[in-house]
Structure 1
């Protein structure tokens, strides 16, 4: 693509810098002490970093999602709770 459009950069450093915290948190989860704990930590860390990438405040997001689930949010509509689709019901 960069050959056709001179505005596109040749490297992916900007993207790599953006996703680095996600990768580091997943790697740190290896030292959580237990496989299940590490998997849970990696999921939470990924959600937090994905919130940041989508301009969503992570604490408010996690709080809202947990309230929605506890309030009976349908499993078939789980895509609505993903960070890039999430709309905080005020």
Structure 2
């Protein structure tokens, strides 16, 4: 799991997540926690990473699609957990 981003890295991460869906950064700490957990899955070679990204970032009032999960994974690879 990557460390919590700070400063410009934090801002860059939140910006790319917000581009997927602004509601995802309403709780910035939750968005960061979800991203760090998803990095562990991506780096571990987990199956169905787009589905699990959507599950990690969603809430009952705000479900996400597989396409949004894919966009979140792309955002993570650009910020918190590059290959």
Same fold (TM over 0.5): no
Alignment TM-score, normalising by the size of structure 2: 0.36
TM-score (norm. length: structure 1): 0.33
Larger Rg: 1
